């Protein structure tokens, strides 16, 4: 089912706000945050690319932009910068990100175009500190966390591997990450992901036109298909957190593929798709 028919060049950052009971997402290349309310479609435009968010309060989001992490008031549209994010690298931008269960925020960066190999990184912002977790990442994605907050998932879409790593009580990685899912044989790339209430890993797969659900041991359990080859980021929301939302993109699709898949770039939903978890709050330092 189509949730929103506005076409995103690169839909991303799917987020269900548990206080507002409202679904948000980004068009990274369109430099905007999008949503809907009873009045109809909503959009907030920015002077730079924006890609991911976490909720801070009913009206305030933490948003990742090209050069910094900032607070954004949905009502007043006031911005307060929290910290720089690779401001010294104008060729980079933010990509996938999500709040962890300890109140921190993980965010990945990548090159805007051309040779993207190893140009980005994955960071964590926690209690006022921005720390590099994994350098030399090409396309950071799949950032999400187990229900108990003891493990994190992430991927470099370039490698087609989803990784899993243990976390300490404050949410910092412990030890070396291990491969959780290998998508090389499928030919798809892991994109955005979220964990459901049962701990299953639900991943949008770029090139696969689907959200694939994997059990806690990495076995494929089921898939939800969408009429868009480049699915990008899922989120659970709606009544009982039983609706699965998914963004998509037109980026990288040929005119022929776009003609055959005219709904590419739309935002979709599936009801009765399982049960999600409330999105963690980002805790201000």
**What is the set of active-site residues?**
191
CA 159 to chain centre: 18
Continuous H helices in the chain: 255-260
135-13-160-251 Cα dihedral, nearest 10 degrees: -110
Q: Give the integer Cα–Cα distance in Å for 207 and 259.
A: 16
Q: Name the maximum alpha-carbon separation found in the chain.
A: 50
Answer for the pair 98, 145: CB distance below 8 angstroms, yes or no: yes
Strand partners, 22: 17
CA 264 to chain centre: 18
């Amino acid at each position: 089912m189509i949730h929103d028919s506005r076409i995103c060049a690169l839909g991303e950052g799917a987020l269900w706000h548990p206080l507002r009971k409202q679904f948000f997402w980004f068009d990274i290349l369109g430099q905007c945050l999008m949503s809907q309310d009873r009045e109809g479609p909503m959009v907030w435009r920015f002077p730079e690319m924006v890609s991911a968010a976490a909720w801070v309060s009913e009206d305030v989001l933490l948003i990742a932009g090209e050069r910094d992490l900032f607070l954004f008031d949905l009502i007043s549209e006031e911005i307060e910068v929290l910290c720089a994010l690779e401001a010294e690298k104008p060729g980079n931008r933010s990509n996938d990100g999500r709040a962890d269960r300890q109140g921190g925020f993980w965010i990945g960066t990548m090159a805007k175009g051309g040779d993207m190999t190893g140009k980005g990184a994955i960071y964590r912002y926690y209690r006022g500190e921005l720390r590099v977790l994994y350098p030399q990442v090409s396309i950071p994605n799949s950032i999400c966390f187990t229900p108990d907050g003891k493990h994190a998932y992430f991927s470099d879409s370039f490698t087609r591997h989803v990784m899993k790593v243990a976390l300490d009580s404050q949410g910092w990685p412990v030890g070396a990450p291990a491969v959780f899912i290998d998508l090389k044989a499928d030919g798809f790339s892991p994109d955005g992901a979220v964990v459901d209430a049962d701990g299953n890993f639900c991943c949008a797969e770029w090139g696969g036109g689907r959200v694939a659900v994997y059990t806690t041991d990495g076995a494929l359990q089921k898939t939800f298909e969408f009429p868009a080859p480049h699915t990008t980021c899922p989120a659970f929301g709606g009544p009982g957190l039983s609706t699965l939302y998914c963004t998509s993109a037109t980026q990288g699709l040929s005119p022929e593929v776009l003609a055959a898949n005219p709904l590419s770039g739309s935002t979709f939903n599936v009801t009765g798709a399982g049960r999600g978890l409330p999105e963690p709050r980002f805790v201000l330092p």
